[in-house]
Structure 1
Amino acid sequence: MAIAIAVTRERREGETRCALTPETAKKLIALGATVTVEAGTGAGSSIPDADYLEAGVTVAKDTKAVLERADILLKVRGPTAQETSAMKPGTIVVAMLDAFRDKDTVAAMAGANLTSFAMEFVPRISRAQVMDALSSQANLAGYRAVIEAAYAYGKGFPMMMTAAGTVAPAKVFIMGVGVAGLQAIATARRMGAVVTATDVRPATKEQVESLGAKFLAVEDEEFKNAQTAGGYAKPMSAEYQAKQAILTGEHIRKQDIVITTALIPGRAAPVLVTAEQVATMKPGSVLIDLAVEAGGNVEGAKAGEVVTTRNGVQIVGYTNLPGRIAADASALFAKNLLAFTGLLIKDGALTLDLEDEILKAAVVTHGGAVVHEGVRG
């Protein structure tokens, strides 16, 4: 019997992305699977049900029936309680589970004896690059952050010389130079802004400068050793943070736009911009906090809201920025899922090799228990 892959409509508030495109559906079918989507799955990404049907996908209205038959469920976000309870034991769930924070969903999947994989835990190794959903989505988030900043900012980005006078270029400061930060730098530069950026990882300095931006950091011994073997930022000492705060505080005061992107896996996002620093910014300045869902990098940021301070500064706390460019975000994420699902299907049969280094790193629940050490602890 063919492997049954199901994709249901995203039910988490504000989620516009989907886990399947007609293109990836065709390739999953070519692997020997049958694919069923819930009606309306692609609506937020401008994919009508007719496009799925044309690709050979079954479109169903009875969600419970689809889930009961599924061997693999592909989603953007973790399943709801109703979805979890509808699946048979042993069903494999692959999604961005937000496993460190969404403990209830993880516990429910373990209780239902589902095997779940978190796409955010895919290791950053060469053979897993095509599965790196964090990077694919962060890239779009960085781009969209600059678009949102431009919308909120009351002036133009590039320097413009006219007969009536010269318009000065916007000054944009990017804090945190991962995938999102690099794309934000590139986008702001393309739009004509004067861009500076900072990060605690020394390897990012060359990347920042290669994009035409200026790097800003306290470059002491701690800074030189502030990166893990996996390429993530290490938590910095209070002493370093104090020195960096003095340097960046003076810089922030002069900026028109500040975009923060700093995240540490499994921990609350570090505060990079204090309320006191926000209070020094010019009226009309804009802060975009990409880490607001993890607690926020900007003091005073509120998830899903735009806060205007007493001094006329806007703190933009939009969640799910990739969802604001849903068609592209879905296309990239669906390809990440396709590549990951290829590890689960061998010669048309479901094969679960938890010794594979990618699956081993990404598995969260299996055999009725939470098996990921970081999540279980």
Structure 2
Amino acid sequence: MKPMERMQGVDEETVAQWRRDFPILEERVYDAPLVYLDNGATTQKPRAVIEAERAYYEHDNANVHRGVHLLSQRATDAYEAARARIACFLNAARQEEIVYVRGTTEAINLVAQSFVRPLAKPGDEILVTAMEHHSNIVPWQMVCEQTGAVLKVVPIDESGALDVEAFERMLGERTRMAAITHVSNALGTINPIRRLVAAAHARGVPVVVDGAQAIAHVPVDVQALDCDFYAFSGHKIYGPTGIGVLYAKAERLEAMPPWQGGGDMIRTVTFEKTQYNAIPWKFEAGTPNIAGAVGLAAALDYVSGIGIEAIGAHEADLLAYATQAIQHIPQVRLIGTAPDKAGILSFVFGDVHAHDVGTIVDRCGVAVRAGHHCAMPVMQRYGVPATVRASFALYNTRGDVDALVQALTRVREVFGA
């Protein structure tokens, strides 16, 4: 393999310093050093996040809102400060535009059921792309079943790039929502969100963006994107599981009814009538994931301290290096070769099933994802049952890529490929 020049801005010592922030990278797997390349599924957590959650439970643990005792006040302050931190990270106009959810899936379901379902009528259309995760397909299929609306799918080309002109043509008078991934979890394709939003808005169509795979890799400025909704999960950006965010323009939230009923999303309740809380709290029924919000704020502080641009440059270098290395392995076919990609490398290995590849690679200490990646229509588009996916994060190195390549050599030995 011909050596590649390292991209400017991130040196090996800096990456080594980042790696020291993640305790789990000291683990060994089958007596080999852990090489973690499954970041598209979930990222590992830095000490700053782990310590923030522990400090909350050790010093501030109490239920939020309406409590008059000191711990409740401290917990509430931390919880709402985290909301303000998230708003700043996304450049939202107001912190009230940030709704806490469990993750991207719940956020999209909230938009589907609270915003689109009340508006949709038989024959109306919901526009998605052919590269969507199931979480941005199934909720819209459910709305279609409930209302008689029709799901329309924008095609992708052989490289995995979206047919933007087809998207623009398919926007119509009956389109009630365009639901678009920012970065494909199965292909790594980065979609031109600003152009897509502008085209949709020119036709009066609102847009929800699935940002799960983008949030840790590319800068996200919701005001610049001008999207109506943006969803992401905390665990994709070095934060805890079970916490996520729905950003929505304030006027959209004001017009939407609550999705769930219960405590904390109300002002007053009688048996005759309930008055709902103001935004965003009318969408946050029940005791929330307070520690998760605190941990997510710590994760955003950590990422901001490094800089999304620096992380993106480092991951781009890894992707280029890995792409060149993988292409030199006989019988490997890359799935997803769009010119604008984030740090995701999907491939198939001859006739060897992805699960078998993933299992053998795991025995070499390398963690990758093998399967359909909750994107079965993508697999059908390329005529494969599954792919192997290596996905990169700030703490990965070229040495990790080399370990993957070496593990794939073992696959060739086992299967005679």
Q: TM-score interval w.r.t. the shorter chain?
A: 0.3 to 0.5
What TM-score do you get using the length of structure 2 for normalisation? 0.34
What TM-score do you get using the length of structure 1 for normalisation? 0.37
